[in-house]
A and B are shown apart, each in its own frame.
Chain A
Amino acid sequence: MTSDVSERTALPSAPADEHLLTARLVAPRRPGLWISAAILLVLAAMLIHTLVTNRRFQWPTVRGYFFERSILHGLELTIWLTAAVLVTGYVIGTAVAAARLSKNPVLKSLGFGFVWLIRSVPMLVQLLFWYELASLYPKLSLGIPFGPEFASFKTAHLFGGILAAYVALSLDVAAFSAEIVRGGILSVPAGQVEAAQALGLGRGRIFRRIVLPQAMPAIVPASGNLLIGMLKATSIVSVIAVQDLLYSAQLIYNENFQIIPLLLVATLWYVVLTTVLSIGQYFVERHYARGTNRRGDGFARLFRRNLPLFNRAGLAAGGRS
């Protein structure tokens, strides 16, 4: 037996392998894949089963409050607060990233200091800080630094709950997005900028047309994380009595004690929003994957291939023929 094997390995190009030319190629079996998938499917089924059958989740109550007016108002506030915070945060963050990447040592250190400071302070502390600003600086005034002042006003009127939340969260997004944008820009090879310079393109154009599109594949996934994280992090404003989605739910269950159903109402709305954002992220990522081999990979491709509704290429081809 052993001699048989050694003989065969010694003759790698045996003459009797003609039948192999017509043989079918069979993929190796992967039992581990099937077993792990089966286990996970059972666990998922158990989870869904308990969600549906445990009466204490009180799904009818959840349904009853899902479109409650105050919940929808809270939802609205959550959405526009998140949007405003992200736009402001990314504008500041991009500027900070530019400062950190500049050759000016003052700008560089200020950019670094900003990121360091904001990232060091817990978001809740920042929120309370801006909310309580009045106790720190009762009066703000406009004038020449260290010189005479022209106008002054009381801070007590300046920072209501929503404004404090807007400022605190925007600064937080600014610090984190600055690092995301900076990382994305650094991921673009220096040769790209050089090639564009050699072609006579200006600095602004090089940034917009050459660097940014290539930085986006690195920026988008991290930004999706930040965006979705911030959507949920806005719920922190409930501590300063801003009526966002979560706080609206809390107000209701403080009166009727239906805690779990109302938390489920808020959760389900967060799930809906996150789903919408994730789908958006997928399309943005696909847009910036031009020129790479990563276009439409993974689950999404499987999905589109197997559902005729999503199979646009197939539809187009069918229409033409």
Chain B
Amino acid sequence: MSTLAAAVEVRGASKWFGAHKVLDEVDLTVCPGHVTVIIGPSGAGKSTLLRAINHLEKLDAGRVTVNGVLIGVREHGTRLKELSERAILAQRAEIGFVFQAFNLFPHLTVLENVAAAPVATGRATKTEARERALELLAQVGLAEKAEAYPGQLSGGQQQRVAIARALALRPGVVLFDEPTSALDPELVGEVLAAIRALAGGGTTLVIVTHEIGFAREAADRVVFMDAGRIVEEGPPGEVLDRPRHPRTREFLSKVL
């Protein structure tokens, strides 16, 4: 189990919104320390899958494990029972999440944004959290903005703060939902650079993105989703350059 355990494992995940089946028995395995990039057309269910991994979205069927631990539920006889809120919150601290719209807290300074969660969840003292936050901000190149408010930063800077915030709890897995799609083109590069700096550092990254160039260069595995299913997956050289499935070929011909 130990070395072979997947960092993230999704089995038979299904999810309906009303009569619309948004996830259709999705199976996904993410190896520890790998960078997995999920691509696919709008409405394919990429965000829903990502949100299901940290239980922001409840699955109707199937299960998610992170580092071998069931997320959001526990086995109860033959059924899965939802965990208490407190237990789910503790699990979420192991999984970082970076949102498309940054969702920084506008009434807190950049430093407070990054240091808030470790203090609030009792994982660090105020001083420890501050030190760690400054370290992370330096890592994403924003040490001098520590006392600024998010509203005073550019979009690219805000997203880099969001990345630092997601790392503050030292999660083993970080999920990115289109981290650059709300940004002006010239700001995309700085955010991708911040993500790239994380890759290879032992943290497992799952990234939903439309940046095919970034996927080709940074991904260990590329997953193509369409209509709630994983259509094709493999190393970037295969999925992006020699796609087997016609649906993948069609999608790539549009975005490239």
Q: Which A residues contact B (CB, under 8 angstroms)?
A: 189, 191-192, 194-203, 205, 209-210, 213-214, 288, 290-293
Cα separation A191 to B103 with both chains bound (whole Å) = 6
Q: How far is the CB of A270 from chain B (nearest CB, A)?
A: 34
With A290-B149, A291-B151, A292-B151: A200-B117 Cβ-Cβ less than 8 Å: yes
Which of chain A's residues have a CB closer than 8 A to the CB of B116?
199, 201, 209
Cα separation A290 to B105 with both chains bound (whole Å) = 11
Q: Is the CB of B121 within 8 A of A200?
A: yes
Q: How far is the CB of A48 from chain B (nearest CB, A)?
A: 42
Interface class of chain A by DSSP:
helix
Which of chain A's residues have a CB closer than 8 A to the CB of B151?
291-293
Which of chain A's residues have a CB closer than 8 A to the CB of B103?
189, 191-192, 194-195
Contact of A200 among B90, B99, B101, B105 (CB under 8 A): B90
Q: How far is the CB of B99 from chain A (nearest CB, A)?
A: 6
Q: Is the CB of A191 within 8 A of B99?
A: yes
Q: Which 4 A-B pairs have the closest CB atoms?
A: A200-B93, A195-B103, A199-B117, A291-B149
Q: Is the CB of B92 within 8 A of A197?
A: yes
Q: How far is the CB of B155 from chain A (nearest CB, A)?
A: 15
Can you name the residue of chain B whose Cβ is closest to the Cβ of A291?
B149
Q: Is the CB of B121 within 8 A of A198?
A: no
Cα separation A164 to B149 with both chains bound (whole Å) = 48
Which of chain B's residues have a CB closer than 8 A to the CB of A194?
56, 99, 103
Q: How far is the CB of A274 from chain B (nearest CB, A)?
A: 29
Cα separation A69 to B201 with both chains bound (whole Å) = 77
- Give the tally of cross-chain contacts (CB within 8 A): 73
Cα separation A202 to B121 with both chains bound (whole Å) = 8
Q: Could you show 26 A-B contacts with beta carbons less than 8 Å apart? A: A191-B99, A194-B56, A195-B99, A195-B103, A197-B92, A198-B54, A198-B56, A198-B95, A199-B93, A199-B116, A199-B165, A201-B89, A201-B116, A201-B117, A201-B121, A202-B85, A202-B86, A205-B120, A210-B105, A214-B105, A214-B107, A290-B149, A291-B107, A291-B108, A291-B151, A292-B151
Q: Is the CB of B169 within 8 A of A200?
A: yes
Q: How far is the CB of A261 from chain B (nearest CB, A)?
A: 49
Residue B97, interface by CB 8 Å:
yes
Residue B200, interface by CB 8 Å:
no
Q: How far is the CB of A102 from chain B (nearest CB, A)?
A: 15
With A194-B99, A291-B151: A203-B92 Cβ-Cβ less than 8 Å: no
Q: Is the CB of A291 within 8 A of B85?
A: no
Q: How far is the CB of A167 from chain B (nearest CB, A)?
A: 36
Which of chain A's residues have a CB closer than 8 A to the CB of B104?
195
Cα separation A197 to B91 with both chains bound (whole Å) = 11
Residue B106, interface by CB 8 Å:
yes
Q: How far is the CB of A164 from chain B (nearest CB, A)?
A: 41
Q: How far is the CB of A14 from chain B (nearest CB, A)?
A: 34
Cα separation A288 to B107 with both chains bound (whole Å) = 8
Q: How far is the CB of A308 from chain B (nearest CB, A)?
A: 28
Cβ contacts B228-254/A at 8 Å (1 or 0 each)? 000000000000000000000000000
Can you name the residue of chain A whose Cβ is closest to the Cβ of B96?
A198
Which of chain B's residues have a CB closer than 8 A to the CB of A198?
54, 56, 92, 95-97, 99, 166
Cα separation A195 to B105 with both chains bound (whole Å) = 9
Cα separation A194 to B99 with both chains bound (whole Å) = 9
Q: How far is the CB of B161 from chain A (nearest CB, A)?
A: 12
Cα separation A293 to B151 with both chains bound (whole Å) = 8
Can you name the residue of chain B whose Cβ is closest to the Cβ of A217?
B107
Q: Is the CB of B101 within 8 A of A292?
A: no
Can you name the residue of chain B whose Cβ is closest to the Cβ of A214?
B107
Which of chain B's residues have a CB closer than 8 A to the CB of A291?
106-109, 149-151
Contact of B120 among A195, A209, A214, A292 (CB under 8 A): A209
Q: How far is the CB of A321 from chain B (nearest CB, A)?
A: 22
Which of chain B's residues have a CB closer than 8 A to the CB of A293?
151
Can you name the residue of chain A whose Cβ is closest to the Cβ of B175?
A198
Which of chain A's residues have a CB closer than 8 A to the CB of B150?
291
Q: How far is the CB of A253 from chain B (nearest CB, A)?
A: 50
Q: How far is the CB of B213 from chain A (nearest CB, A)?
A: 28
Contact of B56 among A197, A202, A210, A288 (CB under 8 A): A197
Contact of A199 among B86, B92, B101, B107 (CB under 8 A): B92
Can you name the residue of chain B whose Cβ is closest to the Cβ of A193?
B103
Cβ contacts B63-100/A at 8 Å (1 or 0 each)? 00000000000000000000001100110110111010
Q: Is the CB of B165 within 8 A of A203?
A: no
Cα separation A288 to B109 with both chains bound (whole Å) = 13
Can you name the residue of chain B whose Cβ is closest to the Cβ of A289?
B107
Which of chain A's residues have a CB closer than 8 A to the CB of B109?
291
